[in-house]
Amino acid sequence: MEKNSEQIIRTEYSEIMQKSYIDYAMSVIISRALPDVRDGLKPVQRRTLYDMHELGIRFDRPYRKCARIVGDTMGKYHPHGDSSIYEALVVMAQEFKKGLPLVDGHGNFGSIEGDGAAAMRYTEARLQKITQEAFLGDLDKDVVNFLPNFDETEKEPEVLPVRLPNLLVNGSEGIAVGMVTSIPPHNLGEVVDAVIATIGKGDLTTQELMQYVQGPDFPTGGIVVNKDDLLQIYETGTGKLRLRGKVSIEQAKGGKENLVISEIPYTMMGANIGKFLNDVAGLVESKKTTDIVDISNQSSKDGIRIVLELRKNADTENLINMLYKKTRLEDTFGVNMLAVVDGRPETLSLKKIIEHHIDFQFEVNTRKYRTLLEKELQRQEIQEGLIKACDVIDLIIEILRGSKNQKQARECLINGITEDIKFKSRASQKQAAQLHFTEAQATAILEMRLYKLIGLEIEALMKEHEKTLKNIATYQDLLNNYDSMAKLIVKELKALKKEYARERKTLVENAAEAVFEEKKVEEMEVFFLMDRFGYARCVDAPTFERNREAALAESKYVISCMNTDKICVFTDLGNQHIIKVLDVPFGKFRDKGKPIDNFCNYDGSKELIVYAQSMQKVKMSVLVFGTELGMVKQVEGSEFDVAKRTIAATKLQEEDRLLSVSCLGEAQTCVFRTAQGMCLRIQIKDIPQKKKGAIGVRGIRLNEGDRVENIYYPDSSWDNTILYREKEVHLDKLKIGNRDTKGTKIRV
């Protein structure tokens, strides 16, 4: 019987977990999320472009279906799902995301306003001209290493031989495990100038490089307003850019003015444009500004155009500052220039990225011209053999006619072996014995066609030989002389800049912090009214007094507060929602109001309101919490004065619900009444004070299947009488008992 070949390795589980997680993290970092500093591409982008190159989808050929490209890329190089490949393909074709689009898309490839691209079966694509020339042009010259693909059936390039500093030109964004890269796009012409200056002048400082690179150049335009911070960002590779949209003032009819937003911050692309419009509408609805009459989004394929129509004599400067301060018209872009360098993630400065690019260019060009030199030397060898053969062509013909087979003729041409070959004369045999062509030359001679013996063909061969010798001298000079190679790289960069450089779109400047004068709200006393359906409104004090009876009869909650205050709403799920009184509609008494879920995160389909009170009163009080399972506690009201719109006001046990919240007044006792008719009156001083995150203590001990239905606080504000199954119960006459007891049964 064969022994089991498996081995059991005993090790710490934590060590296995740690090793596995590190392996996974590095795989995500290197193989998916981060770009390579050399070509500025992530693996999925590199593989997609290479696959398009292999399929022959060039810039001067017809478009091909994106589904074909995605399927081929996934099957050959990137087995991580079609959605990631198609998304990468779409982004590389979107002019509003890439400073230099690498793919020419045909069909619906989405819009700057966040519309997604059509399905891959509908869209088509091909390579851009610059991608073909500057990214994939020299792959056949052994300029980069090729690696096996995931199943070792194909070869793929380790990196593309990109001739431009693509990492800076197009930027990159990606989230890995424990790290993130965020590199803004830059102007192609400026970056090329910085590379050329570094090659020509040597070791430049970041400050000197910034004479060429003004700053990021986003395809959406806009303004970078913290120019003084750029030096620090480019030196460290990290920092924050402050971006603003471009706003201009247009004259309208009747002496009015319009604010026109023609460029937006790069971070505002997509759904954030709709959010911006909603935020502006919110400023109008909340009366933060009364200067805006109408908002219209007139954007088209020609560009962004958002128009804000203003009332006459509006304070435009103050309004623009408000938009910068209160909306995403001014936003921050976090810079973290993280890329893969020699297989490791590294945060890079502007100088380092340019230096890595130059090193890569010298490496690629060295490999390119070494390959070309080898081919020219081989061509020289064959050409010299053919020229020599033309001089003794009659002898070679005699050797071929006298040989029995090709091998015999080859041996004679290479080694001068004349045995068994019939010659016309002894002189010819003696001359043949002196031949010593190389193997390559002999093969070329044997494969040479007779028309090559025409005079003009021989002349063309001589010219071709001269050209080959010239190429060899050029390539050897490039490989042996740093200055010659540097001149060639600079020449190529200048040619690319001349053809593909575009004017800068983003303005870089220093601008003061946006400051606006917010209209001060006139403080006044109001009454917050909310009915049992959750509809809320506010009325002023005189209006309430005139309609007091109707207000008390129709409203479940009537709260006196200031219009600058907040309302705390506690629900049976233990949540506290905060409503700003200014957000609640203010008007006439008979106005219906709006559901409170318009002003906070309350969800009426899942939770019920158990208590509502003004923040001013809550934070000055002590609150008593009681639940259906009889848990109670006291909490300092100041704990609920928070900035968040929703917090957990208390912790609840499983299957328990918050039943009662009350701000303590003059009441000294509280009474629990259960569904089964048990009553327990305890002193409030026996209820301990806890934090809001605590469950509390047991106030009443419940019988099996019983639950607390009501908690009362007897005081002088009411007659302290309740009805239980049509029987009156006088709460202040109940005997005071101990906490955590069952209490007494109400006799019906």
| CA 361 from centre of chain | 29
Q: What angle do CA 291, 296, 301 make, to 5 degrees?
A: 145
Sign (positive or negative) of CA dihedral 646, 649, 653, 656? negative
Measured distance CA(53)–CA(55) in Å, rounded: 5
DSSP label at residue 640? G
The residue from 122, 451, 482, 724 that is catalytic is 122
Residue 103: closest CA among 93, 116, 88: 93
CA distances from 285 to 271, 293, 338, 396, 586 (A): 21, 11, 43, 99, 12
Helix, strand or coil for residue 226?
strand
Measured distance CA(581)–CA(619) in Å, rounded: 16
The DSSP annotation for 707-743 comes to -EEEEE---TTS--EEEETTEEEEGGGSPB--TTB--
Angle between helices 350-391 and 455-480 (to 10 degrees): 150
212 is a catalytic site residue: no
Which residues neighbour 18 within 8 Å (Cβ) at sequence distance 6 or greater? none
Half-sphere exposure of 103 (CA within 13 A, CB side): 32
DSSP label at residue 315? -
User: How far does the chain reach from its first CA to its final CA, in angstroms?
Assistant: 84
Amino acid at 37: V
Measured distance CA(600)–CA(579) in Å, rounded: 6
Measured distance CA(371)–CA(434) in Å, rounded: 33
How do strand 257-263 and strand 306-310 relate by DSSP bridges?
A: antiparallel
Measured distance CA(634)–CA(661) in Å, rounded: 10
DSSP label at residue 666? S
Measured distance CA(395)–CA(389) in Å, rounded: 9
Sign (positive or negative) of CA dihedral 79, 83, 88, 89? positive
Residue pointed to by tokens 């059991």: 8
Kindly list the catalytic residues: 122
